[in-house]
Amino acid sequence: MKKYKFLIIVFLLFLSFWSFVFLTQQVWQYQAKKNSRIAEPAGIHSLEKVTLGGVDQWILIRGRDRTKPVLLFLHGGPGSALFPRARDLGVGLNLEKHAVMVYWEQRGTGKSYNSSIPVESMTIEQLENDTVELTRILIERFHKQKIILVGRSFGSLIGIKAAGKHPELYHSFTGVGQMIWPLKNDSLSYDRTLALARQYDNQKAIRELQQTGYPPYIPKQLLVQRRWLTVLYDKMMKEKFNVRSRNQWKVLLSTPEYTLPDIFRMGMNPFFSINYLWNDKFYRVNLFEQIPRLEIPFYFIAGQYDYFTSPELVTQYYQKLDAPNGKHLILFDKSGHQPESEQPDKFYEVMVNQVLKDIKE
């Protein structure tokens, strides 16, 4: 009898906990929807499933005027869910006033993750192809000749490759925290992470980093280096500029595009994309050799304190890259890897008064 009472109590506690989570999610999502409602008659707010390369994936389209230029945003990671940050970009930075923002969660990421995705399709080349296929869908959907392409971190690598192969599809390309040469980049990132660990006298970090060593990394090693970099970077940015990290659980639960089953599914295999994309082939990428010329205007946005993607490498590549239609390097002196949130006013200024303003239809 005691056993049954215990099981009943456990069940009631379990039910109470998940009921609380569900109700909390509903309240937070209601607030997010209310604060980001698009009321303009010409506006658009649409969550859609698209099939790219034979795999169902999800896009969120938001804008106050559907006749404005279309901007496709490629997230980083690989595997960093974008929908939780969509309103920071579109509403917080007010970019949805100036463009039709298309937020895409790539195969294997966020709402676009499911266990049936063929693992052999998880390649940089396939993500490039998905990008081009989605671009063509958007061009036809919104009756445009070209769209704007923006990629951050790992997404910047996918984006510049797609733009390099198909310049006819894009007005311009913007790389935020641009990936250039992963092997060299991760070596520099390792050195700076270890230097931060010594600066803060974090003996555990020093020990684990020295055991990990220099790249190339397998995913397990990468996660050790990136985990310590994130912890130490957050500490550094808080000290220098009072930049504070947000409660990620609240961000996730308040994202209106996600159901609880979505979040459960994502949590079952959070490193799916990294496991298949961060490999020997990735470490053979070198844009100095592979993309020496870009036919469309491009913009590189680099944070001075970016220890994830080296601003020094970005600067060197920028100087060597042949760009007959114009090139721009914008350094953010109070930012690291997240200039859009660390210096939002400057990011808005660059996007609206340079990237969007320079469009030639």
Q: Using one digit for the tens of pLDDT, what is the confidence trace for 274-315?
A: 999 999 999 999 999 999 999 999 999 999 999 999 999 999
First-last CA distance in the chain:
76
Contacts of 342 (CB under 8 A, 6+ apart): 237, 241, 243, 303, 332, 334, 335, 336
pTM, two decimal places: 0.95
Give the pLDDT of residue 207: 98
Dist. CA 163–CA 183, nearest whole Å: 22
Give the pLDDT of residue 54: 97
Q: Identify which of 39, 52, 219, 75 has the alpha carbon closest to the alpha carbon of residue 132.
A: 52
Looking up tokens 């990290």 gives 245
Cα 227 to Cα 221, 223, 277: the distances in Å are 10, 6, 18
Please say whether the dihedral angle defined by the alpha carbons of residues 303, 305, 306 and 312, taken in this order, is positive or negative: positive
Below-70 pLDDT ranges, the chain: 1-3, 360-361
Give the pLDDT of residue 252: 92
Q: Identify which of 66, 25, 60 has the alpha carbon closest to the alpha carbon of residue 43.
A: 66
- At CA 140, angle to CA 138 and CA 145, rounded to 5? 90
Give the pLDDT of residue 203: 98
Looking up tokens 């937070």 gives 28
Q: Are 29 and 254 in contact (CB under 8 A)?
A: yes
Determine how β-strand 44-52 pairs with β-strand 55-63: antiparallel
Q: Are 266 and 260 in contact (CB under 8 A)?
A: no
Give the pLDDT of residue 12: 77
Give the pLDDT of residue 15: 81
Dist. CA 34–CA 320, nearest whole Å: 47
CB atoms within 10 A of CB 93: 20
Where are the strands (E) in 69-216, listed by range? 70-74, 100-105, 147-152, 170-176
Dist. CA 349–CA 353, nearest whole Å: 5
Q: Identify which of 252, 187, 179 has the alpha carbon closest to the alpha carbon of residue 216.
A: 187
Which DSSP string corresponds to 245-299? Answer: ---HHHHHHT-TT--HHHHHHHHHSTTHHHHHHSSHHHHT--HHHH-SB-SS-EE
Q: Identify the three-state secondary structure at position 357.
A: coil
| Peptide bond just before 78 cis, omega within 30 deg | yes
Give the domains, in start order, of the chain with CATH numbers.
Answer: 44-181+246-356 (3.40.50.1820), 185-241 (no CATH)
Give the pLDDT of residue 2: 66
Dist. CA 76–CA 156, nearest whole Å: 7
Q: Roughly what angle, to the nearest 10 degrees, separates helices 154-165 and 124-141? A: 70
Dist. CA 157–CA 232, nearest whole Å: 25
Give the pLDDT of residue 360: 65
Give the pLDDT of residue 8: 78
Determine how β-strand 170-176 pairs with β-strand 298-303: parallel
